[in-house]
Amino acid sequence: MQTVLITGANRSIGLETAKQLSQKGLFVYLGSRSLAKGEEVVKELAEKGFQNIKAIEIDVTNPDSISKAKNIIENEQGKLDILINNAGILGVNPQTAVDTSVKDIQEVFDTNFFGVISVTKAFLDLLKKSDSPRISNITSGLGSLTLHSDPNWKYYHVKAAAYGPSKSALNAYTIVLAYELRELPFKVNVIDPGYTATDFNHHSGPGSVESAASFIIKHTVTDENAPTGQFYSNDIEDETGISPW
């Protein structure tokens, strides 16, 4: 049975991804900053028939929390097959380049960028013990510099001085990571689930969490011939789903 850790999985897209992976027969560690909230969610899922899901406390901005989560998975499983870095925050609103404070921008980067790096580095040795390790970093179309530079892009006017750049940085880091792991059986990609109706955006997005989770899984649970170092987006309207950087 393959094992997967999903950070920020006690609600929205992360939760739906956990549910769908459980139904596919994977053992899911449902990451939550609050263990109590995570366990409450898992209890509700168990009552609905979902199996092989366990809540695990992990705050991606807290090194001790990450280390404890890693030790739990190592002791229970000995390895990790899939890491989905899903935890993220939007930050203050509005978010202008002129007026947003450095502190507010740093807060977003701490979770969306440095948090991903911290978790990835902590779990890398467990992933190397897998026959088919996968790292999926959940990004956003708002992290695409190419699209942001195109006045014809449908979200061209949606500019955020902290959130967007944090995802652009995440994309860049993922390219480097995928390159460095290219000789190993890793597949390392960034995946944009698309503009999805969640608490994150006050349910303003047109996409469903079911579609978002399905798209993440499609580009995470892949075979040995799948690409690595790609940027996939559920908002790209062609069969490849590949987004410009």
| Given the residues 167, 173, 187, 232, the one annotated as active site | 167
Nearest to 65 by CA among 104, 105, 35: 35
Burial class (CB in 10 A: 0-12, 13-18, 19+), 222: middle
- Cβ atoms of 18 and 9 within 8 Å: the answer is yes
Q: Are 170 and 116 in contact (CB under 8 A)?
A: yes
In DSSP terms, which residues pair with 135 in a beta bridge?
83, 188
Query: Tokens 């978002």 label which residue?
Result: 212
Residue with tokens 């989560």: 69
Residue in the structure block whose two tokens are 């062609």: 238
Active site residue 154: no
Which one of 19, 70, 163, 232 is the catalytic residue? 163
Q: How far apart (Å, rounded) are the C-alpha atoms in residues 56 and 195?
A: 27
**Region of residue 31 (phi > 0: left; psi between -120 and 50: alpha; otherwise: beta):** beta
How would you classify residue 74: left for phi > 0, otherwise alpha for psi between -120 and 50, otherwise beta? alpha
- CA 1, 78, 222, 119: dihedral to nearest 10 degrees? 130
Task: Look up 167 and say whether it is catalytic.
Answer: yes
Active site residues: 163, 167
